[in-house]
Amino acid sequence: MWHLLLYTLHRRAGTDAGPLSGLWVGRAPKNALRLRRQETLLLYLVQHGNALLPPEQVDKLLAGLAARYFREGGATTSALQTAVREVNARLVRRNQRMAAENRLTVLWLAMAVWRAQRVLLGLAGPLHGYFVGQQVIHVHDPVLAGSGLGTQRVPRLHFATAEAVPNGLLLLSPEPLVEQPEALRFSPARRPDPLLRRLLADPRPDLTAVVAQMRPGEGENRIRPVRARWLMGAQPSQAVPPPPETPDAAAPTEQTGSQATAPLSPEEPTPEEIALPVSEKGTPAPSPALPSAQAVENGDGEGEPSCAKQEPQRLASPEPGPRPAAAEPSSPAPAFTPPTAGRGPERPARQPLGQAAAPRQPAPPS
């Protein structure tokens, strides 16, 4: 036993044309022959001509054809042929009555029967059928299928059969859906959404198709129209290129938890500027302490500070910045007087070079 989930696509002049008419799906009723009780039947009808049947007559015609099939014994193909011949006979008589008015009705009919592990497809008219699964089988033969019902007394039928695969698909359409049938390849383990989006993306303004998904069990047969909203997510949105970076562009805000770190404005100091010594920002910094003088041993053994000059350590030259404001002059510091301890007797002052020393005057005689 199988039940079906039907997806219908009906587009006219580029817009959704509402529910698709001419569709019937169901299982055998209680009064059906025992041979038909485990079968599921799908009927799809397309009208052509200038004297189309109203929707209520189409529904009545399909319901009568299904009832006639479930009451007919014998092989599946012969039962379908018997039911189709009755419908074709009534349609031929109707066209003959309207011939004087130059009016005509032609029906293309697709019939599919699921039984056990097989599905049988019968086409009356140049319809297109696709068995879609791990392999794709395209069913279309205008010679064998004929021109449809209502054009000749003995209708032509084209039959094809395939294996019924759980979650497999059967596609029906009056027009070819793709140029290459392999483009419809579908894995039964996946949902049919990508395939439906591909069909909806077809640029043709008019499109009609029925997608039947086979599901095992005695579930409910459902019909679901496919709207243009299925196209959402079919194509990835185009990424917008970021604007070109400029030297003055602020850094983007970084979100951390529930707080956001705003970009630093040009007026605020950067972390690098904050890390610099204060002297580099224009404020005089205290001079570093000079290393203590080394102790020099005297004759007494006590160490006193030496007068030897110790060269201070050189600091890294700061980066150029604004000069500090000139400090106001203060009182001069006292002159440095070197210590004289341990130097010995004072020597006479030396005369400058190039000048002779003045001659000493002889001491007067006593």
Confidence band of 232 (pLDDT split at 50, 70, 90): low
Confidence band of 238 (pLDDT split at 50, 70, 90): very low
CATH superfamily of 2-231: PPM-type phosphatase domain (3.60.40.10)
Is 188 within 8 Å of 136 (Cβ atoms)? no
CA dist 9 to 20, 128, 189, 198, 247, Å? 8, 15, 23, 12, 54
Query: Which are the contacts of 331, defined by CB distance < 8 A and separation ≥ 6?
Result: none
Residue written as token pair 């018997």: 82
% residues pLDDT > 90 (the chain): 38
Over residues 86-115, mean pLDDT:
94
pTM confidence score = 0.62
- E-strand ranges in 252-334 read 254-256, 259-261, 295-297, 303-305
The DSSP line for 225-276 is E--GGGGTTTSPPPPPPPPPP-TTPPPPPEEETTEEEPPPPTTSPPHHHHHS
Confidence band of 303 (pLDDT split at 50, 70, 90): very low
Single-letter residue type at 266 = P
